[in-house]
Amino acid sequence: MNISLFKTLGIVDCCIFKRIASRSYEVIYAEDEWIDILLPHARDENIFITPCGSPFLDDFIAQAEEFFELATDGRIESGIWSEKIDDQELKLNAYATTDKGDFYLIIDNIVEQYKRRQKTLQSARELLLSNDKIVAQQEYIHQRLDELLSQSSTLKDMQQPITEVIEKTEIGVAILSPNLKPVSQNPALYSVFDSHLASVKTEPYELILQLFEKQYPEFERVISTGSRWSGELFWLQPPNSEKWLKLAVYPVKTDFQKITHWVFIISDISQVKHLLQNNEKLTHYDALTAIPNRQYFWMQLEQSVNNAVPFYLLYLDIKNFKRINEVHGHSRGDKIIKELVERITPHVSNGDMFARIGGGEFAIIRQKTVTQQQCIDLGNALIEVATQPFYLPNGAHCEVGLNIGAASFPRDADDAETLMKFADLAVFNAKKLEKSSVQFYSQKLKDASQRIIELETALQTAITNHEFELFLQPMLDLTSGTILKAEALLRWNRFDSERIGPDEFIPIAEQTGLIIPIGKWVISKACEMISTLNHRGHSCKLSVNLSPRQVGDRNLLTFIQNEIRNHHIQPNQLELELTEGVLVDNYDRVQFLLTEVRKLGVSVSIDDFGTGYSSLSYLKKLPIDHIKIDRSFVQDLVNDENDRAIIMAIIAMAHSLKLNVIAEGVETELQRDFLRLNHCNLAQGYLFSRPLPFMEFCEYLGNLTNQKLIDQSEHDLK
């Protein structure tokens, strides 16, 4: 071993020992006095024999002896440990290595490097905090631009305020058209890319799109579905420098979810990355959770593909994580992330990789999985631990869920990028479902995804193309047989004559936000129908359903007021129906909305009652007029004693709270008779009438009225 080489390289704060026999080492190089603290007399005697009195060093030398017995080359490392002797602290790292058949033990005093490393870590932590501020700035700029751009489909009237927002910020901003052409780019965006772009005549937005598309399989899905996205881009800046960029992508949409603009917000985070890369752990591991990060995950995924051994890739996405951060704050959101990782980790097998690849996104590479059922079992176990409550410092708790997408190598794809793209598509489809689930990539799933995208596009123009129609299903007073009101049910008949069922298009409208304009159309159309019924001499209240998204619409109350006034109807002729789930998830907003609509005179009904789990206590707190017994209880009441007991309990409870009860799904006379006998107020179902187009409903009302007149006349004659 060439000792002079150590001195030439400046590696002088170390000691080198050559193994001359088992547990016996000769001093080759030891010029620093700290060795006398660790190994007294070693320099004087030019040899030392273990054990030497340092438990950590003795333990490592025992490992080194095994290494020397077996190894012909290579080395092993102890890791950093501390020795404190006579108020002097050493930070030491030991190596056992071989050189030309000889065995060496090297002990390195790295106290200065340790101090520098700690300083670097502190700087990195501070920069990570500043990185959080960058995220907050990006979100603020997005919100301001969203407000401005939503006011007009062109920038003509908005040019001045938009310029004020983006020109003065130090963060790069590009506003693009729906087809990703430049509308506006601020000076800070050009400065992010220095003057390099001028020489190659490339616009900043073009380079951003190129980097995004090349580095992320999600690009196609984000653009085609109009989704929000954030992540990091790596730019190898010619000729030989590099930059890391933090990109946030926001679509700006109309009420009908048509994209009017794209906002790309970008920040240079190279300094953060440089400091992180000075520490291997921070380079490869997530700072919050200490599990592998996105970069390390991609390295492992590529390696797994190269190994050519079948495996599964699971993509985990926390449900509504953005909402958790908004409601509870980012610091509590971070705590939930850490606790969730602690819950999931015990379920990950040795040899598999569990990584955090985004804010609320994780991935698992299951190296030893041989069946799809194993993935399903793991996914269900992870969903179960994720859905258990997370308790907050104030004593409150919140609940999250997991959407999981899975793809198989090499069955679904034989390269890392395509495999990740398919897993992303699978989890994207899992998000469409109300409950947490595991979705596997398949051609059927891909076709279903294309179907969803097709329907999303078609929904955007369905109102203007007059493709929607309201059907009405009557609700009868069980005592008198009189129709007191009817439920408005939405139907969609596409121009190509295809009829799309509400079970298919309502969830899509809810997910995309299109339910807001569609719901407004329903309310407006219902008010128009009430007005027409009034002119025809029929007195009939119409009930319309409100979705969770509509309840969160701040303009809903004003819209209802305007529609009632514009159609010259009485407020008590309109009723709003909400499900139990809306009560539970949006209680504060629901309480305000229902209180205000009741002040107008609009009545309120709770739909699907009995299927929820925690809204019973709300019945006495919220301004509610009616509850509707879910059809699942009515369906088997004749044969199921439990269903009968539940219905009787619901009716008794509702009447004690002075609420009316409506039973839905009534199809037989036996069901009707039982409900009437137990004092249920109203009923709807196929026994009385299926949902009818408006003109047929008017005829139904007329026929029922005429029949009553005939019956009354016959009664009078008697």
Q: Among 283-292, 568-577, 680-689, name the one with the lowest average pLDDT.
A: 283-292
Q: Enter the DSSP assignment of 345.
A: G
**pLDDT number for residue 118:** 55
Quote the distance between the C-alpha of residue 394 and its chain's center: 24
**pLDDT number for residue 11:** 45
Residue whose structure tokens are 């897993």: 423
Longest dimension (CA), the chain: 133
CA-CA-CA-CA torsion sign (580, 586, 592, 597): negative
Q: What six digits make up the tokens of 573?
A: 């002729």
Query: Are 269 and 243 a contacting pair, CB within 8 Å?
Result: no
Q: Among 129-138, 490-499, 548-557, name the one with the lowest average pLDDT.
A: 129-138
For residues 387-405, average pLDDT: 81
Q: What six digits make up the tokens of 186?
A: 């601020």
For 673-709, what is each residue's pLDDT tens digit? Answer: 999 999 999 999 999 999 999 999 998 888 876 555 4
Q: Are strands 660-664 and 24-29 parallel, antiparallel or unpaired?
A: unpaired
Question: What is the CB neighbour count within 10 angstroms for residue 309?
Answer: 11
317 against 194, higher pLDDT? 317
For residues 2-26, average pLDDT: 66
From residue 512, alpha-carbon distances to 245, 258, 530 in Å are: 29, 10, 29
Amino acid at 332: R
**pLDDT number for residue 57:** 85
What residues form DSSP beta bridges with 252? 261
CA dist., res. 609 & res. 461, Å (int)? 34
Q: Enter the DSSP assignment of 481.
A: -
**pLDDT number for residue 524:** 95
SS3 682: strand
Strand ranges across the sheet with 402-409: 353-356, 361-366, 311-318, 402-409, 437-440
Q: Residue 634: pLDDT above 60?
A: yes
For residues 310-320, average pLDDT: 89
Q: Count, in order, helices (H) and strands (E) of the chain.
A: 28, 29
For 181-201, what is each residue's pLDDT tens digit? Answer: 988 888 888 888 775 555 556
**pLDDT number for residue 717:** 43
Query: Are 441 and 422 a contacting pair, CB within 8 Å?
Result: yes
Quote the distance between the C-alpha of residue 90 and its chain's center: 47
**pLDDT number for residue 124:** 47
507: left (phi over 0), alpha (psi -120 to 50) or beta: alpha
Mean pLDDT, the chain, integer: 81
Q: Residue 658: pLDDT above 50?
A: yes
CA dist., res. 203 & res. 182, Å (int)? 9
For residues 289-316, average pLDDT: 88
Q: Residue 542: pLDDT above 90?
A: yes
**pLDDT number for residue 666:** 94
For 454-512, what is each residue's pLDDT tens digit? Answer: 888 888 888 888 899 999 999 999 998 889 999 999 999 987 678 888 888 888 888 77
Residues near 562 by Cβ (< 8 Å), separated by ≥ 6? none
**pLDDT number for residue 9:** 35
SS3 231: strand
For residues 310-334, average pLDDT: 80
Q: 38-68 burial string, b = 16+ CB within 10 Å, else e? A: bbeebbeeeebebebebeebeebbeebbebb
For residues 256-264, average pLDDT: 83
- Rank 143-157, 386-400, 441-455, 499-513 by mean pLDDT and report only the highest: 499-513
Q: Are strands 468-477 and 483-493 parallel, antiparallel or unpaired?
A: antiparallel
Question: What is the CB neighbour count within 10 angstroms for residue 563?
Answer: 19
- Indicate whether this model's pTM tops 0.85: no
Q: Residues of the chain with pLDDT > 70: what percent?
A: 80
Q: Residues of the chain with pLDDT > 90: what percent?
A: 25
106 against 199, higher pLDDT? 106
Q: Residue 129: pLDDT above 60?
A: no
From residue 479, alpha-carbon distances to 58, 226, 631, 681 in Å are: 92, 52, 20, 8
Q: Residue 157: pLDDT above 60?
A: no
Q: Residue 154: pLDDT above 70?
A: no
CA dist., res. 285 & res. 629, Å (int)? 52
SS3 288: coil
For 620-631, what is each residue's pLDDT tens digit? Answer: 778 889 999 888
From residue 439, alpha-carbon distances to 43, 113, 298, 325, 405 in Å are: 66, 48, 22, 26, 5
Residues near 650 by Cβ (< 8 Å), separated by ≥ 6? 609, 610, 627, 629, 633, 661
Q: What six digits make up the tokens of 378?
A: 């793991």
Q: What six digits make up the tokens of 73?
A: 């080359």
SS3 578: strand
6 against 246, higher pLDDT? 246
95: left (phi over 0), alpha (psi -120 to 50) or beta: beta
- Rank 446-455, 558-567, 703-712 by mean pLDDT and report only the highest: 558-567
Question: What is the CB neighbour count within 10 angstroms for residue 347?
Answer: 16
Q: At what angle do helices 294-307 and 416-430 cross, to 10 degrees?
A: 120
CA dist., res. 325 & res. 334, Å (int)? 9
CA-CA-CA-CA torsion sign (208, 213, 219, 220): positive
226: left (phi over 0), alpha (psi -120 to 50) or beta: left
**pLDDT number for residue 341:** 93
For 642-655, what is each residue's pLDDT tens digit? Answer: 889 989 998 998 89
For 343-375, what is each residue's pLDDT tens digit? Answer: 999 999 888 899 998 888 899 999 876 688 888
Closest CA relative to residue 117, chosen from 278, 269, 270, 9: 278
Closest CA relative to residue 332, chosen from 281, 277, 379, 288: 288
**pLDDT number for residue 613:** 47
For 16-71, what is each residue's pLDDT tens digit? Answer: 888 888 888 888 887 777 788 788 878 888 888 888 778 788 888 888 888 887 76
Q: Among 4-18, 246-260, 396-410, 660-674, name the one with the lowest average pLDDT.
A: 4-18
